[in-house]
């Protein structure tokens, strides 16, 4: 009986430590050896790992970030695929790897499964864009952070009679914007999944202001194209991934131009990924971690733990990551009843 490895890969989010704690506690209860792999796939590629005991995961349940570290390095992009991991896997006698990752990392896990490695995925991303699960770890906390910020931004918008344009993360999906905007009572929510009519947006904001509500709050998802149809970005990161962001500046200028009202952009950025997870994400991370450990101790591979209703199930990893899960438009339409 070999060891079981666990890693966190891709962008971090609150709740990762809860999941690691769940994995380690469940596995060590069965006397299994757990290897913590540092900095995502990088740790398997470079052999930077450490054993994890029950004691190593005490006190981490409510801590943000990941005690294992993370990175966007990928064995198929930056290495030789499965071959780049083989030495570490063999040297440490790792039988199975639990991958706590977003769609990119989980797609890599599915490829490694196809190459013969036993893998179990845990869906985590504030973007909530992984298929076949009702929700991903970290989303709930990110939405709460957005709502807390909107509550604060609204009072200053009101004092100054301004339009505040709040940009939230989500990459190509509008889940955070729709949920955060709805819970924060936004006057408009702009998401990549719904084409934005800027003239109509301006008309609605003007009407709201003439009716005596002379401030407005607009939430825009970072991946929403601006009036030119382009998604705002600032080049690529060191791994070649697009750095999406900045659309709120363009949207605020456009609103100013079309309405004549003062509009200010605010990017919430990495605040959405930092700090302590909500109770929901602590529980979800714990349940995902425990179940992933149980699956890894069996023969099943190429699966992902998923929340369906209130039940943790396993789903096919390749199917879950075949394409990003876009915002359910029903969510958008429900929020739209409250637009200006
Ligand atoms: O996928 C999570 C996410 O936070 C996206 O919402 C955002 O576009 C991206 O990661 C930022 O990535 P990085 O941490 O590499 O800047």
Distance, CA 54 to ligand 1 centroid (Å)? Answer: 31
Candidates 42, 104, 127: which one to mutate for ligand 1, based on the most atoms within 8 Å of Cβ?
Answer: 127
Active site residue ranges? 127
Tell which residue, 60, 68, 99, 138, has the closest CA to residue 289. 99
Average confidence (pLDDT) per 10 residues, the chain, 340 residues:
97 98 98 98 98 98 98 95 97 98 97 97 98 98 98 97 97 98 98 98 96 95 97 88 94 98 98 98 98 97 98 98 96 95
What residue's CA is closest to ligand 1, atom 14?
Answer: 11
Structure token digits, residue 182: 């709805």
pLDDT at 242: 87
Distance, CA 11 to ligand 1 centroid (Å)? Answer: 6
Task: Decide: 69 in ligand 1 pocket, CB within 6 A.
Answer: no
Could you give the count of Cα atoms lying within 13 Å of 191 in the half-sphere of its Cβ? 25
Strands 94-101, 3-8: pairing is: parallel
Task: Decide: 125 in ligand 1 pocket, CB within 6 A.
Answer: yes
d(CA 268, CA 240): 23
Under 8 Å between Cβ of 212 and 235 = no
Sign of torsion over alpha carbons 268, 174, 102, 299: positive
The residues that bridge with 164 in the sheet, in sequence order, are 217, 264
Distance, CA 287 to ligand 1 centroid (Å)? Answer: 24
Q: Is 65 left (phi over 0), alpha (psi -120 to 50) or beta?
A: left
pLDDT at 241: 82
Q: Give the position, in ligand 1's atom list, of the atom nearest the Cα of 222.
A: 8
What residue's CA is closest to ligand 1, atom 2?
Answer: 11
> pTM for the whole thing?
0.97
Task: Decide: 176 in ligand 1 pocket, CB within 6 A.
Answer: no
pLDDT at 275: 97
Q: Give the position, in ligand 1's atom list, of the atom nearest the Cα of 272.
A: 4
pLDDT at 2: 95
Task: Decide: 314 in ligand 1 pocket, CB within 6 A.
Answer: no
pLDDT at 197: 97
């Amino acid at each position: 009986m070999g060891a079981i490895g666990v890693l966190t890969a891709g962008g971090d989010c609150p709740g990762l430590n809860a999941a690691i704690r769940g994995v380690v506690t469940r596995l060590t209860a069965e006397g299994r050896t757990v290897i913590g792999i540092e900095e995502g796939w990088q740790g398997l590629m470079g052999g930077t790992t450490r054993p994890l005991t029950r004691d190593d995961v005490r006190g981490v349940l409510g801590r943000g970030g990941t005690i294992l570290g993370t990175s966007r390095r990928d064995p198929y992009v930056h290495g030789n695929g499965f071959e780049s991991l083989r030495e570490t896997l063999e040297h440490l006698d790792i039988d199975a790897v639990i991958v706590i990752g977003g769609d990119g990392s989980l797609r890599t896990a599915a490829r490694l499964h196809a190459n013969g490695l036993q893998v179990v995925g845990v869906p985590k991303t504030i973007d909530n864009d992984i298929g076949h699960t009702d929700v991903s770890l970290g989303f709930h906390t990110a939405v709460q952070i957005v709502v807390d910020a909107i509550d604060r931004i609204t009072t200053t918008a009101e004092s100054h009679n301004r339009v505040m344009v709040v940009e939230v993360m989500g990459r190509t999906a509008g889940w955070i914007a729709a949920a955060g905007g709805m819970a924060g009572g936004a006057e408009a929510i702009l998401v990549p999944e719904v084409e934005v009519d800027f003239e109509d947006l301006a008309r609605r904001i003007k009407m709201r202001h003439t009716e005596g509500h002379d401030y407005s709050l607009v939430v825009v998802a970072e991946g929403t194209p601006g009036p030119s149809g382009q998604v705002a970005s600032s080049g690529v990161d060191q791994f070649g991934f697009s750095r999406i962001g900045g659309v709120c500046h363009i949207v605020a200028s456009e609103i100013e131009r079309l309405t004549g009202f003062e509009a200010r952009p605010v990017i919430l950025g990495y605040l959405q990924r930092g700090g302590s997870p909500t109770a929901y994400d602590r529980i979800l991370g714990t349940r995902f971690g425990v179940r992933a450990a149980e699956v890894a101790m069996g023969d099943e591979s190429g699966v992902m733990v998923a929340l369906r209703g209130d039940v943790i199930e396993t789903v096919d990893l390749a199917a879950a990551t075949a394409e990003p899960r876009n915002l359910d438009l029903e969510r958008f339409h429900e929020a739209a009843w409250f637009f200006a």
